[in-house]
Amino acid sequence: MHGSRSITPLGTARSAGNSFVHSTAFEVFSRAGFVARALVYGIIGVLALEVATGTGGKLTNQQGALRTVANEPFGEVLLTVLAIGLGGYAAWRLIRAAIGHGPEASDSGFERAAGFASGVAYAAMCAVAVGILAGAHQGQSGSPKTTTADVFGWPGGTWIVGTAGAVVVGIGLYQAYRGVTKEFLKDSKVEEMGLRIKRWFGRIGTIGHLARGVVFVLVGTFLIKAAVDYRPHDAVGLDGALAKLAHRSDGPLALGVVAAGLIAFALYSLSDARYHRI
């Protein structure tokens, strides 16, 4: 009798969540998300590298990368697969944030909060992909400048934007920290890698995390600047951050280095589809 009293709806839900996380279907679905993430960052990096080398290309963000896929031969099929992968990655991050652990690890409060934020971001990317497939019109209403201007109209709007910018800068610095210290290796099954693969994996992971860190810090810095100066047009997204690099005196070099880093992050994500601890 005493044992039956300990069974609560919350305990039952947690048990069901644990069972799902341990399932093969969830693992396959989640790993597909790493492939999708690799494709998105790979497209952004390659297009930016072409701009840096003067061979064409364009500076784009995650939405632009998805549109690039849609415009390719068999684009709808590819984008459908990509949407499923992004949905899988978002589900993995959100479920891990909710239950706090998977079959091989235990997440801290910070990791759960970061996982929730990441899950929401990738769920939004999945929604964009679905919108493109459905033929939804994508104007400039969702641009960082317009969104920032809208938030400025809220009570305490400038503080909200400034705080968001500080958070994004913090995320960027944390990405750089993970890259420099190779902390990301703790999340992967390095024990299953050969020496050469582990060495290569560590290098591209470090370069990729540093490149992402640079981009996030730039995005966050310009959000803070927009809040301080009350100029929503100062806000930029990923494409805007790359443009800021391109406009420097050493623009082609700076943009090329970061673009190569984003490609490295794509390769790291693709490898992590195999080795990440789900």
Amino acid at 207: I
Task: Name the band, by pLDDT with cuts 50, 70 and 90, for residue 10.
Answer: low
Task: Name the band, by pLDDT with cuts 50, 70 and 90, for residue 181.
Answer: very high
Q: What is the mean pLDDT of residues 58-67?
A: 92
Instruction: Tokens for 83, please give them.
Output: 């949407």
Mean of pLDDT over the chain = 87
Residue 213: is its pLDDT beyond 80?
yes
Torsions phi, psi for 106 (to 5 deg): -130, 130
- Kindly tell me the sign of the dihedral angle through the C-alpha atoms of 41, 166, 97, 116: negative
Placement of tokens 């400048």 in the chain: 145
**Contact by Cβ (8 Å): 227, 159:** yes
Q: pLDDT tens-digit profile of 229-263?
A: 999 888 999 999 999 999 988 989 999 999 999 99
Residues 6 or more apart in contact with residue 215 via CB below 8 angstroms:
172, 238, 241, 242, 258, 262
DSSP string, 132-154: HHTT----STTSHHHHHHHHHTS
Task: Name the band, by pLDDT with cuts 50, 70 and 90, for residue 139.
Answer: very low
Q: What percent of the chain has pLDDT over 90?
A: 61
User: Other CB atoms closer than 10 Å to residue 153's CB: what's the count?
Assistant: 8
End-to-end CA distance of the chain: 36
- Between CA 95 and CA 100 the distance in angstroms is 8
What pLDDT score does 111 carry? 74
Q: What is the mean pLDDT of residues 58-85?
A: 92
- Between CA 242 and CA 122 the distance in angstroms is 20
Task: Name the band, by pLDDT with cuts 50, 70 and 90, for residue 15.
Answer: low
Q: Count the domains in the chain.
A: 1
User: Other CB atoms closer than 10 Å to residue 133's CB: what's the count?
Assistant: 16
Residue 141: is its pLDDT beyond 50?
no
Q: In this structure, what DSSP letter does residue 189 have?
A: -
89: nearest Cα among 45, 26, 134: 26
Domain of residue 127 covers 2-275
Task: Name the band, by pLDDT with cuts 50, 70 and 90, for residue 11.
Answer: low
Q: pLDDT tens-digit profile of 73-105?
A: 889 999 999 999 999 999 888 887 887 665 445
Question: What is the dihedral angle through the alpha carbons of 182, 186, 191, 195, rounded to the nearest 10 degrees?
Answer: -10
Task: Name the band, by pLDDT with cuts 50, 70 and 90, for residue 107.
Answer: low
Max Cα-Cα span within the chain: 75
- Between CA 90 and CA 29 the distance in angstroms is 10
Torsions phi, psi for 101 (to 5 deg): -165, 160
- What is the total residue count of the chain? 278
What pLDDT score does 140 carry? 45
Q: What is the mean pLDDT of residues 189-211?
A: 96
Residue 271: is its pLDDT beyond 80?
yes
Q: What is the mean pLDDT of residues 171-180?
A: 94
- Burial of residue 274 (CB within 10 Å: 0-12, 13-18, 19+) is middle
